[in-house]
Structure 1
Amino acid sequence: MKKTVIFALAGSMLVGACTTDPYTGQQKVSNAAAGAGIGALAGAGLGLLAGGNDRRNALIGAGVGALAGGLAGGYMDRQESELRAQLQGSGVSVTRAGDQIILNMPSNITFATDQDAVKAGFYNTLNSVALVLKKFNQTTVDVFGHTDSTGGDQHNFDLSQRRALSVANYLGAQGVDSRRFAVTGFGATRPIASNATSEGRAQNRRVEIQLSPLT
């Protein structure tokens, strides 16, 4: 089970309701289903899209050029270098996986316990991320929310969704093109450490940003 929201500039409010994609079985969540955390998205003029290729088509249709296959690696190299420089000492890790870049944002620096509002102390870090994302605009941005296994499954999925939405919404408010984003809440289904220890649970509570070249 996971919940994905794909959104783009589309008027003054979020549209759509909680539906299941008949082809993928994936649940698409609107503001009504995602809870209070998505409310800020409406103020940013974000609308729900349906279908995995919508981001790519919207960006190319808006004049954002796709990268030729041979150029993607170098483009992501330069973006990775700038992210590492901007995020040094921030507590956010930068990992490279092929042509993708993953930023791991632990919840202890991003959110208060069981809350979905980004901590004010984390704004400067997200501002740095936004600067790089605006410079390297030929990438799509997937924001993944994760929790530990404490609490019920539905609560964890909803919390992970709202936290990911909060991060995406903040970046959008800093001028990152909202058509680049997709947001997914995974709850506790993708741990990176054992939930049997407090240290492991702390590692599992995180938001990840995955950057992929637009090709």
Structure 2
Amino acid sequence: MKSQGLIVAGACALMIAGCTNNPYTGEEQAGKSATYGGIGALAGAAIGAATSSSDDRAKGALIGAAVGGAAGGGYGYYVDKQEQRLRQELTGTGVQVIRNGDTLQLVMPGNITFASGSSDIASSFYPTLNSLVKVFKEFDQNGINIVGHTDSTGSQELNMRLSRERATSVASYLSGQGVSGARISSAGVGPSQPIASNDTEAGRAQNRRVEITLRQL
């Protein structure tokens, strides 16, 4: 058992020392993802050693460390860099950038995206969309899921249609500017997912929004 522990520890040390370049960006890996990669390597090495025969335990630990380290650090570092670029590009635009693990969410309130009751993109919102296009082209390793939301004013049918059309408008603009359509999906959910009370104008304004969620392909 002691030798197994030394094998696993040695495998992890080799993995952590050797993994200096990120597979998604080609840059030297640092920050939070380095920790994630080290944890992944540790877990992978332990599993690799435990599931291998006695003769192949060292080899199993090394393979497990490689797989675990790449999974734990690679995409996490990619998201670190993408989040940094999005925050830089979207400062002062009114768009919120929310990080949840390795998922990024962009919340675009209705007052800066569309006129009331319309699915035509507001002219003042095009510069913000162009900033998104620039980042989405630079970071092209994740899917782009666009969802339109409305408040509860008006009929369900109207709100569902409006939310779908608004999400489609954003998706069409992104693809028209060269973002791969294979990465993009769009949907409308009407008033079914409020983030504030529909009993006040301030709450309804928050519920009228478009959200873009970025996840690993």
Specify the code of the residue in structure 1 equivalent to 2:144.
V
Which residue in 2 is equivalent to 1:190? Answer: 193
1:118 partnered with 2:121: yes
Secondary structure of the structure 2 residue equivalent to 1:141: strand
Specify the code of the residue in structure 1 equivalent to 2:94.
G
Which residue in 1 is equivalent to 2:15? Answer: none
1:143 partnered with 2:146: yes
* Structure 2 residue corresponding to 1:156, chosen from 156, 159, 162: 159
Which residue in 1 is equivalent to 2:134? Answer: 131
Which residue in 2 is equivalent to 1:168? Answer: 171
Specify the code of the residue in structure 1 equivalent to 2:216.
P
- 1:68, CA displacement in angstroms? 4.5
Query: Which protein has greater RCO, CA pairs closer than 8 Å, 6+ apart?
Result: 1
Specify the code of the residue in structure 2 equivalent to 1:173.
G
1:179 partnered with 2:198: no
Q: Deviations over 1:145-189 (max 9, x none)?
A: 000000111110110000000011111111100100111101000
- 1:72, CA displacement in angstroms? 1.1
1:204 partnered with 2:200: no
Q: Deviations over 1:51-70 (max 9, x none)?
A: xxxxxxxxxxxxxxxx8453
CA contact (8 A) 1:76 1:213 kept: no
Pairing 1:1-215 to 2, within 5 Å after superposition: 68=71, 70-214=73-217
Provide runs of 4+ in structure 1 moved above 6 Å: none
Q: Equivalents in 2 of 1:133, 1:69: separation in Å?
A: 23
Q: Equivalents in 1 of 2:72, 2:180: separation in Å?
A: 23
Please list every run of 5 or more consecutive structure 2 residues that lacks an aligned counterpart in the other structure. 1-69
Secondary structure of the structure 2 residue equivalent to 1:134: helix
Q: Which has the larger radius of gyration?
A: 2
Which protein has the bigger strand share?
1
Specify the code of the residue in structure 1 equivalent to 2:82.
Q
- 1:89, CA displacement in angstroms? 0.1
Secondary structure of the structure 2 residue equivalent to 1:193: coil
Which residue in 1 is equivalent to 2:64? Answer: none
Which residue in 1 is equivalent to 2:20? Answer: none
Q: Deviations over 1:41-89 (max 9, x none)?
A: xxxxxxxxxxxxxxxxxxxxxxxxxx84531111011000000000000
Q: Deviations over 1:14-57 (max 9, x none)?
A: xxxxxxxxxxxxxxxxxxxxxxxxxxxxxxxxxxxxxxxxxxxx
Report the TM-score when normalising by structure 2. Answer: 0.67
**Identity level (%):** 52
Secondary structure of the structure 2 residue equivalent to 1:115: coil
Q: Equivalents in 2 of 1:184, 1:70: separation in Å?
A: 31
